């Protein structure tokens, strides 16, 4: 199972939100580059980066920071936030990003998603940011009436490389991830899933590993690392 330590970038800093609320945002001392270096030095192979400024503004904002991370460390970087066009995707692939995460653009323009999956085989991931069964977009600020299951069924044959399922009600709360809903959805299609939101302890990770569900590819861990609830040395042992 892949463990993705998370770096969310806002105003050039590492931040974490609670339930996607930008008014409940905590900034951390390490710069994104320093944080990536810590993850690399502790033995992680993958990281999940979100350009929160990009997600809010609908365009790539923190390109230079992420580029430095990709070029400086031997890490598989999964990047999302503000990716709206084929050229945006090309920009990240050109500098060596491992996976490109489409969220808002994937939902609002399924033709673009299909084209991207065809053009960039095994490179496109889709972020499903879900609250009470419905998708949210634009940095979680925009609620839709799109049922998560309906959307998944629409894109299941596009060639999406992985789906990142985030329960917004859980994200940043450290109350445990929504394993039940993620499992239920993952069983309906053959696309690998990554669980995100609410991881609070090593036990949460162990529960996910113990599922032995071939469709659960990994888990994203954020706030619990930054707040010291989970040590990186202990977490990396579970890879």
Write down the catalytic residue from 8, 53, 98, 204: 8
Indicate if 204 belongs to the active site.
Answer: no
Q: What's the CA gap between 161 and 182, in Å, rounded?
A: 16
Closest CA to 52 of 10, 80, 92, 101: 10
**Which one from 51, 88, 129, 171 is the annotated catalytic residue?**
129
Q: Based on the residue annotation, tell me whether 129 is a catalytic residue of this protein.
A: yes
Positions annotated as catalytic residues are: 8, 129
């Amino acid at each position: 199972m892949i463990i993705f330590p998370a770096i969310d970038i806002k105003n050039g800093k590492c931040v974490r939100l609670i339930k996607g609320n930008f008014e409940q945002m905590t900034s951390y001392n390490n710069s994104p580059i320093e944080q990536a270096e810590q993850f690399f030095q502790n033995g992680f192979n993958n990281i999940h980066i979100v350009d929160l400024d990009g997600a809010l503004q609908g365009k790539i904002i923190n390109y230079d920071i992420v580029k430095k991370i990709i070029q400086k460390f031997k890490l598989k970087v999964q990047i999302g936030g503000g990716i709206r066009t084929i050229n945006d995707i090309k920009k990240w692939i050109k500098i060596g990003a491992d996976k490109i995460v489409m969220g808002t653009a994937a939902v609002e323009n399924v033709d673009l998603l299909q084209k991207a999956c065809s053009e960039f085989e095994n490179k496109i991931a889709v972020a499903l940011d879900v609250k009470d069964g419905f998708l949210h977009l634009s940095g979680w600020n925009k609620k839709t009436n799109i049922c998560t299951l309906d959307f998944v069924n629409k894109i299941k044959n596009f060639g999406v490389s992985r789906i990142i399922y985030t329960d917004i009600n859980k994200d940043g709360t450290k109350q445990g991830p929504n394993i039940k809903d993620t499992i239920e959805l993952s069983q309906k299609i053959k696309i690998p899933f990554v669980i995100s939101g609410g991881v609070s302890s090593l036990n949460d990770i162990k529960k996910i590993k113990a599922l032995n569900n071939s469709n659960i590819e990994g888990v994203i861990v954020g706030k619990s690392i930054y707040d010291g609830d989970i040590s990186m040395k202990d977490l990396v042992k579970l890879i």
